[in-house]
Amino acid sequence: MSELPSIILISPPSKKSGEVEILTKLFDAGLSRFHLRKPSWSVQELSQYLSQVPTEHISKIVIHRSPELLNDFPLAGYHHSSTESIRQIKGSHSRSLHKLSELINLKDRLDYAFFGPVYHSISKKGYTPKISLNEIFAFFNSGKLKELPKVPKIYALGGIRKKKIKKLSEIGFNGVALLGSVWGSRDPLRAMNEFLKLDVEFLLSSRNQAVKDPILVS
């Protein structure tokens, strides 16, 4: 598996006009990992979507809910639902987690996990954090992650804006997963480019800028 990027983009959950065209431009601009998540779509609809993506970008896409498509396209990996057992597939294994207890008791050998929401969601009204950033900071600095069977990279999810990137890096996240801040923008390409311009490889590298005093985290 190739090196994981610091920024991952998630698709809007429903159909968006011109989405594949926009996505292709985002790939051309430097996006290297995209999660295709369309909860209400059939396998056929997802397959049609993927068929429109230029061949050179297919390997940058992770699929949700329809693992059979891994047999039809050279996808980057599979994002497991909360109830799924880890599948034996080629590519990356990931999952979304929403509680520290889920992370502490993680038995699956994941390559990475989305954790959140860390802020009030942009795309889901009423979807708010269940845990404070101070608590997340304390966990990352407790050493408990190292006790897992495999230490996954942890991506902050929910309410991610450019001005939050540095703080999330300092707390200990390896990267961020974007949705509303890009697809909710009037110009998704410009919004994504603003994130890609950030020196996120430095800001979000190996938790090397841990905040010394968790009281400063808010």
> pLDDT (tens digit, 9 = 90+) per residue, 8-22?
999 999 999 999 999
16 to 1, 21, 109, 130: CA distances (angstroms): 30, 10, 34, 29
What span, in angstroms and rounded, lies between the C-alpha atoms of 57 and 39? Answer: 22
* Separation between Cα atoms, residue 126 and residue 1, nearest integer Å: 36
Count of domains forming the chain: 1
Nearest Cα neighbor of 114 from 181, 40, 35, 170 is 35
Confidence of residue 36 (pLDDT cuts 50, 70, 90): very high
CB atoms within 10 A of CB 91: 16
- Residue 1 in any domain: the answer is no
| Burial annotation 168-190 (CB, 10 A radius, 16+ → b, else e) | bbbbbbbbbbbbbbbbeeeebbe
How far apart CA 37 and CA 11 sit, in angstroms, is: 6
Q: How far is CA 115 from CA 20, 59, 75, 98, in A?
A: 26, 24, 22, 6
Does 39 fall in a domain? yes
Q: Is the pLDDT of residue 212 over 50?
A: no
**Is residue 61 included in any domain, yes or no?**
yes
Reported confidence tier of residue 113, pLDDT bands at 50, 70, 90: very high
CATH of the domain at 146: 3.20.20.70
Q: Is the pLDDT of residue 215 over 60?
A: no
Q: Give pLDDT, residue 177.
A: 96
Q: What is the pTM of this model?
A: 0.91
Report the percent of the chain where pLDDT is more than 70: 90
Q: How far is CA 127 from CA 30, 119, 122, 130, 136, in A?
A: 29, 9, 9, 9, 18
In a domain, 179, yes or no: yes
- Residue 2 is assigned to a structural domain of this protein: no
pLDDT band at 173 (very low <50, low <70, confident <90, very high): very high
Whether 95 is covered by a domain: the verdict is yes
Q: Which domain holds residue 176?
A: 7-216
